[in-house]
Every structure is written in structure tokens, then in C-alpha cells.
Structure 1
Amino acid sequence: MTTSTTSEPSAAAPLVDLQALVVAVRRRRRLWCAMALLGLLVGAAVAVLMPPPPTAVTKVLVAHQEDQPNDTGTLIRTDVELLRTTRIAGQALRSLNSSESPEDFLRDYRGTGLTNNLLRIDVTGDSDAEAVARAQALADAFVADHVRRMRETAKAEAKALLEQRDRMRKELARVNEEIGDGPPRSGPGESARTESLFARRAELTTRIADFNQRAEEARVGTPRLIAGTQIVDAPRPLRHSLPKAAATNAGIGLVLGLVLGLAVAAVGSVVADRPVLRREIAANLGASVIAELRRVSRRPAGRWRLRRTRAVRTRLTTTLVRAVRGSTEPVSLLELGCARSASAIALDLARALAAEGPVVIVDGLPGPLLAGRHRLPGDPDVVSGEAAAAVPRQTRRLGVGSVAPGTAWTDLRFLGGQTVLVVRAGHGSAAWLHTVARQLADLDIPVIGVVLIDPDPRDRTDGTLWDGPHTALRGPHQRPARRNGMGRPRTERPPVPAARVPNSDQEAR
């Protein structure tokens, strides 16, 4: 009986797996936490080591002849730009008897339009007194320049109106001469001409009176605008609070450092392409994840964490013992990025197998992790790869090696005919995991399973390859999936023997 487990082709994989990206960024929290801490320290150091220069501030009320309630701030922005001209800067410097150039002085102050008629001026100096004096001189220069421009504008407007009035008066004199002092002449044509002259004289008289009024208004309005332009807030030094500035700069540095650290971690995770999820590691190695374990730390752990880790290691040892006990060939543990954890797992496994017979650990790890360790009573013997040939045949061998870059692949065959990969999550790139799987397949070393070290605690993906070998822990009644005629995988189970039905009396008896 054959049961097909084929499924529809999966959709195209996304360019960036957001779940894997979030996990990879979270695993690199040391990086972005360090960047955030560095930003905080740099921000606080900048506030302490580079305090702002002494600054004075003043406010000027600016009256405009063209003021409108619906003005969008165009006039005050014009005043801000006029404030930053060399003419006003030069006038302020002359009042201070300073030899500084106006171009250099422009870098020491700035103007800000608070409302349509309120201008704020910030000026820096070598001391508070100098900053206040420069702010006063700059505000006086701006007010004087603004008053001068208003007067010139009013004077030019009044002059134009009076010139128009004088022209109207000359024309009115000519009209009066034509009308004359005598009685109006008789006749239809003379009567119409006389009426038009009188109408023209009345119009000219009205316009002359209008020009006189407008010129007077221009003269009268100028003092009102001049009086409205004044310094409403005398220059005063700004008080600088070092704790407040340090806290503000530290907060800004913290945020910038955190954002930069997250960006670097995200970009680095995408570029490095280091799988961290169970499903990715299993897919790249072509073997199922059969167990997980925290990384062995160099520092002593707490009592609660030590007890929890010991329980997990006990379950892992039990799982590996079941997988190794029925093997007719030596089994090896090959690590990638977790030599210390692989050594601890090998010792636990060897101690558990020692109850069934003699066990020898064949050390193929670089460095003295196993050979140079402190041996405890009852620990198995550890031999090097050269001495492995002298081990008696009845002694079970447990090899420990590495598949890190630079591995002598041909030596892995002498460590064991089957292997369990001990891989640290996020250590090897996807390309290197493919290389490991390909090299082990070329050496005809089947992979029993993968022990994942330091997994992400929030990873909920499945690390089992259901179309992999029987070591995927699917049960002994399923054989490896193979391809059917359509190129799709199928899973075969051995046929279940049917119950025999008696078809004769002899068989019934």
C-alpha cells in the first residue's frame, strides 16, 4: 500500500524573510545595545566637553505698512533675511567699534520669526556681556534700518501724491481760464461746452482734495509705524544648564545609536546570510534537528539556570544514546562554531554509553579542549586520531571533530561512519552549510541529525525534514521518500499483511 504525501508546489520564496531577519537582529542585540550605549556616552560627552558658547537673546516688534490678518509670514521672513545682510551687520559692528568683518559676524547670530510681527535675535559672543552688547547693537541697527526704510517709503509716496496734486491744480487753472468770469454764452454748442468745463472743474477739485488727503495720511501713518517698531524684550544672556543639556544630548545619542545599530545589524544579517531558524538550518544541511541545547558558557551560571541546563543535557544525552546504540559503525560528533558544547555533549554521551561497555573518545578537535581537560573519575579515555587505529574492535569509539572552514574532509571518515552535527545557530553561512552537507554526502557519511546550539528561544519553526532519511524520527515503518514518475516526492510504507480468510474446511480446521 502506498500513501502519497505530495503537495502543491510552494510559492516563490520572498527576497527577505522577515521572521529570519527579526530573529537575526534580535540575536545581535549586543551590537545594537553597544551602539546605543556608545551614542548615549558620546552625546553626554559632547555636552560636557563642547558646551555652547555664551548666547544672548532679544525680541523686536516689527510693524509693517502692508500688514494683513491673513499674512502667511512673508513679511517677517523678509525681515529675517534683511537681518542677515552685511549692511545691518556692518552698522552693528560700527556701533561696537569692532574690527570684525561683517561676513564673520553673520555666522555669530541668527533671526527667527516667531509671529507675523515678532522677531527673535540670537547672538553669540566670547562672554555673556559681549553677547548682550552685540545683541543690543544688532537690534538697534535693525530697528534704525527698518525706520529709515519706512520713512523713505512714506516720503517717496507723499512726494508722488503731491506731484499728482500739482498737475491737477495746473489743469484746474486752465479750466478756470476757459470758463472765465463773464456770463455764459448763448447757443446750443456753447452751452454743452460750458457744462463739460464745469464738470471737469468739479472732478479736478475732487481729485486734488483726494491727493491732499492721501499725502497727509502717508505723512501721519509713518510715525505710527515707527513707534510700533521697537525692542520689546531687552537683550539678556541665556542660561545654560549642563545637566539638562547632557540629558538631552544623551537621549538623542541613544536614539541615533540604537537606530544605527539596528540598521547595521539588519544589513549585516542580510549580507552575511547566516541561518538562525530551525527550518533554515535543517533545509541547508539536509538533516533534521533532533535536539537543542544552550551554549556552554565560560562564566559560572546561576543555580536555577544550571539545574535547567543539566536537565536539558540529560534529555539530549538520552536522545543521542537511543540514536547511537543501534549503530553498527562508529558515530562522530562534528561541530560548527561550538567546540566547547560538542566536547561537553561527547563526554555526557560517552559516560552514558560506558554503562554498556568500554568507550573511547577519538579527539579530532583543534586545540586541547578534550585532551587537556581535567579528567574526573569514571571519565572515558580520550585518544588522538593517530592512536585510534590501536583501539580494540570491541571498544565503542565516539569521534569528535569539526566541520569549520579549513577542515580536512578526508579525515572525517576515520572519526565515524555516521555523524551527528552540532551546529551553533547563526554561526555558519548558508553557503557553508551547503558545503558541509555536500562534503559529507561525497564521503558517504550519513547524518543522523542536528543538535542545535544556542537556538532562538522564540523560534517556533519546525526543524524536521519529512522527506529526509529515516533518522528524521518519523517512525521505523517509513522508508526514505523517493521520486515518483512525476518528479514529486512520495512516502512509502511497507504493506500491512492482510488477514487470511479460510476458503476450505481443511484451512478452517
Structure 2
Amino acid sequence: MTTDTTSESSASTPLLDLQTLVVAVRRRRRLWCSLALLGLLIGAAVAVLRPPPPTAVTKVLVVHAEDQANDTGTLIRTDVELLGTTRIADKALQSLKSREKPEDFMRDYRGTGLTNNLLQIVVTGDSDAEAVARAKALAEAFVADHVKRMEETAKAEAKALFDQRDRMRDELTKVNEEIGDRSPESDPQDAASIESLFARRAALNSRIADFDQRAAEARTGTPKVLAGTQIVDAPRAVQHSLPKAAVTNTAIGLVLGLVLGLALAAVGAVVADRPVLRRQIAANLGASVIAELPRRSGRLWQRRRTRAARERLTTTLARTVRGSAEPLSLLELGCARSTSVIALNLAGALAAEGPVVIIDGLPGPQLAKRRQKPGGPAVVSGERAAEVSPQERRIGVGSVAPGTAWTDLQYLGTQTVLVVRAGHGSAAWLHTVARQLADQRIPVIGVVLIDPDPRDRTDGTLWDGQHTALRGQTERLARQNGTDRRRTERLPVWAAKGPDNDQEAR
């Protein structure tokens, strides 16, 4: 039965609860808001402290002999890569009469192919005038290099065609020599070979004419390429606006910081596995949430609501103490200060009916260094708990944080109310707290949730846990008086069912 129960619990629990993730990320808004603000400030600081260097831009129309309508930009990308070579940079530096190394100069400019035939060159310098001069020298060096390469390509192609033509002419001369004065009519016995020679001569004449035409076309195409490649947009300095740059950088920094903060908050929430919804906290502790209080006083219009919630909690706890002979303890997890305030309010409400002593088991100075008011409750340390008179009401205040001495909790009270800060303890630690208190036979009669999520609409009540809940005290009193009303009860979700429990439930 234990295996079946565990399997059912695992199947009903989603691998990633989006509601819990959203709530956890929203609760860590300080983190991602801080990172977003930090990104905004860094962006603004970069815009002010590191303005862009003086920049010049120019555009060059590049014509290729191999231009095709369906070209995907391969030729212009080749031109961009050629622009970033030391040969182009060295020629530009020579025209500028600069001793700068070509490798260093290459870091100060870049080329971008806007279209298949339009190249944009962006150059930086120490001043606007220097940037413009650099851009002009670089564009002229690129145009000159491109023209030279096209000329050399055309010359090489024409030379190859003329060489082929000359070979064909040499072969034609040999064929003519073989033919001589012969004709098929004059030499009928050798008419077939003479006709083949005539055919060969006609083919050679055709090929020679073709090579002449192709060489002429190669030469004719070069002037178009040379005249078409030119600077179409003269180099000019780019004007930078500091307000515009600041706005752009701050927007980018804000977005990047916000995205980084949200990602860190989401990852941290998944890894930490800290329950924040009242439904999860109640299920992990095996006790219902009886009250919710903010961690701080809050805004002015929220203080009245907070004060009313504290008064209702004090009244409920006071009624519990009056109706039970067992001492009550308040055990905190991540909210020692709030627990001390609750204990002092409870002691103040019970002070009119008799002496009240608060047993301080907290690790911090929340109660130990508090000045005792005249007529107020006395505060003693946990070591002096045995000295408290049985006629005095005892209210124990302790902690269930890591490092707690679990066996000492029973001296603070035999029943307890857990005061838990939402999102402070992991699910594993909440299970540990519930198991340790069960081992010490200290029933948890309720959970006071500190700093709850204001948009949490989940139910923090365990409807099958009335054996320890505050709302089950009336039923327990009725059973003691002989008017038993049976209800179905089961163990908290952290405990596996055993055969005896299954038999009782059936």
C-alpha cells in the first residue's frame, strides 16, 4: 500500500507547476527588477562614458563580369572579404602616407554588401576629417584593385583565346599545304581524302572566326566593368546623437537585464523547490493554514487590515490556550521577529487572566534583549523553563530552522502553531519538520503564513486533518463528553499509509 500511495502521489504532482513558478518568480521581483535597473544604468553609462568614435561611411557600386540576375550575393560577399585583406589596407595606407600597420587598420573598418552590386564601407578614425579621408582612400584602393583584377582577367582571357586562334591558324596552314592545287575533279582516285581536307579547312576557318569574336567580346566587356565600378556615395562623417544613443543603450540594457533576471529567478525557483502557495505549505506540513500576516507593516492603507488580522489571530490563539490544559508553543521558520510579535500579543491578551511566562527558545535576540514593561509578560530563557511555576501560563517560542535541537521542542509546548514564511523553506525541509514534530508527538494545530503571495487563491485547509486542527477542538471536546461524532481522518501527505491506516480508512 505504501508503494501504491507513493505512486499515486507522484502521478498527481506535476513535474513543473506553472502556477508555483509564476508566483515564485513574482516574489523574486527584487532580483529581476534590480538586474533590469542595473542593465539600464550600464547602458546609459556606456552611452555617456564610451561614445562611438568618429565614423565615416561611403558606398561603392561594384560591377562584375559574371553578374547574373539570379545571383544570391556570392560575388558581393567575395568583395566584402577582399576588402578585409592586407593588400587593400596597405594600398589605402600608402595613399594616406600612414605608417600604421595594415593589420591594425583592418580593425577600424568594415564592409557590408547592401545589394548584389552595392558595397558600403564604414571607417572610424580619431576625428571626422581623418575618418572621411580614410574612407575615401579605402574606397579608391578597392575600386583600383577591382579594376586591375578585371583588366587582368580580361587580358588573360583574350590572350588564351588568341593563343587558341593562332594554333588553329597554324593547323589551317598545314591543311592548305596538303591541299595545294589539287581538287576532287583533278584527282578522282584521291577524291575522298581531298574532300576531307576541304571539310577540315572549313571547320578551322569557322573556329578561328569564333575565337576572334570571343576575344573581341572579352575586350568589349571590360570597359563596361571598369566604367561601372565607382564611388556612388562620397565619404561623409556620420553624426551621432548622444540622447538617441543613450535611449537605445538604456533600452537594450533594460531588456537584457530583465530577461537575465527572469531567467535566474525561474531557474532558482525550480532548483530550490521552495513552496510558496498555501496549498503546498499546508500539504507539506500536514496542517491547515489558520492565518496570514504580511512580513512588514505595509502601506498606510494596508495597516488597518494587518492590525485586524493580527487581532483575529491573537483572539484565536488565546481561545485555544484557554480551552486546553496543554502548553502551546510557537515555532518559527524564517520569521523570528514576526513570531516574537505574535507571542507578545498573545501573552498580552492572556495577562489579564493571570500570570503569563514566555519561554524564549529563539536563537536570536528578538525576545532576550527586550525590555520588560511593567505588568507585561515575563520572558525566560529555555534553560530556565523548568523553574516556571505550574500556576503560570506558558507560551513557548522556538525555531524549526536547520540546526534545531528537536528533543528540546517538547519543553516549549506539547502542541504547537508553526509560523512559516512563504518561500523560505524547501519542500524537503518542511517534510523534515513535520516528521520530527510527529516523532516528538507534538501535534501541529495550525500554520500561520507570513508574507503570503497576495494573488494566491489556493486552499490552505486540509479537510481530512481535523485530528489536530483548531477547528477540530470542538469535536474532541464533544468526544470527551461522550457525544462522539465520527469523521474520516488520514495522515498528512508526507507520511506513507500503512496497512493499519488503510484498514481504519476502509
TM-score (norm. length: structure 1): 0.86
Distance 1:156 1:489 in 2: 100
Confirm whether residue 460 of structure 1 aligns to residue 460 of structure 2. no
Q: In the TM superposition, what is the alpha-carbon distance from 1:94 to its structure 2 partner?
A: 1.2
Query: Partner of 1:313 in structure 2?
Result: 310
Distance 1:170 1:131 in 2: 58
Q: In the TM superposition, what is the alpha-carbon distance from 1:486 to its structure 2 partner?
A: 7.7
User: The residue matched to 1:462 in structure 2 has which SS?
Assistant: coil
Query: Partner of 1:167 in structure 2?
Result: 167
Gaps of 5+ in 2: 476-484, 492-496
Q: In the TM superposition, what is the alpha-carbon distance from 1:392 to its structure 2 partner?
A: 4.4
Match runs of 1:103-118 below 5 Å: 103-118=103-118
Distance 1:212 1:490 in 2: 109
- Once structures 1 and 2 are overlaid, which stretch shifts more, 207-216 or 314-323? 314-323
Identity of aligned residues (%): 76
Q: Mark the CA change 1:184 to 1:441 in structure 2 (over 3 Å): closer, same or farther.
A: closer
Match runs of 1:239-388 below 5 Å: 239-297=239-297, 301-354=298-351, 356-370=353-367, 372-373=369-370, 379-385=376-382, 388=385
Equivalenced residue count is 484
Contact 2:446 2:470 in 1 (8 A): no
Contact 2:108 2:124 in 1 (8 A): yes
Distance 1:271 1:9 in 2: 23
Q: In the TM superposition, what is the alpha-carbon distance from 1:67 to its structure 2 partner?
A: 0.4
Distance 1:296 1:141 in 2: 71
Distance 2:471 2:373 in 1: 38
Q: Mark the CA change 1:356 to 1:470 in structure 2 (over 3 Å): closer, same or farther.
A: farther
Query: Partner of 1:481 in structure 2?
Result: 490
Distance 1:269 1:412 in 2: 31
Q: In the TM superposition, what is the alpha-carbon distance from 1:325 to its structure 2 partner?
A: 2.9
Q: Which amino acid aligns with 2:111?
A: G
Match runs of 1:31-430 below 5 Å: 31-181=31-181, 185-186=185-186, 188-297=188-297, 301-354=298-351, 356-370=353-367, 372-373=369-370, 379-385=376-382, 388-389=385-386, 391-430=388-427
CA-atom RMSD, angstroms? 2.8
More helix by share: 2
User: The residue matched to 1:58 in structure 2 has which SS?
Assistant: strand
User: The residue matched to 2:447 in structure 1 has which SS?
Assistant: strand
Match runs of 1:10-29 below 5 Å: 10-12=9-11, 13-29=13-29
Residues 246-286 of structure 1 show CA distances to partners (whole Å, capped at 9, x for unaligned) of: 22221221122122222222232333332222233223323
Contact 1:42 1:250 in 2 (8 A): yes
Distance 1:270 1:303 in 2: 35
Distance 2:500 2:32 in 1: 49
Contact 1:409 1:439 in 2 (8 A): yes
Query: Partner of 2:441 in structure 1?
Result: 444
Q: Mark the CA change 1:150 to 1:386 in structure 2 (over 3 Å): closer, same or farther.
A: closer
Distance 1:473 1:401 in 2: 20
User: The residue matched to 2:115 in structure 1 has which SS?
Assistant: coil
Q: In the TM superposition, what is the alpha-carbon distance from 1:474 to its structure 2 partner?
A: 6.3
Gaps of 5+ in 1: 1-5, 493-509
Q: Mark the CA change 1:309 to 1:52 in structure 2 (over 3 Å): closer, same or farther.
A: same
Query: Partner of 2:8 in structure 1?
Result: 9
Q: In the TM superposition, what is the alpha-carbon distance from 1:427 to its structure 2 partner?
A: 1.4
Q: In the TM superposition, what is the alpha-carbon distance from 1:421 to its structure 2 partner?
A: 0.8
Distance 2:328 2:470 in 1: 17
TM-score (norm. length: structure 2): 0.87
Contact 1:331 1:399 in 2 (8 A): yes
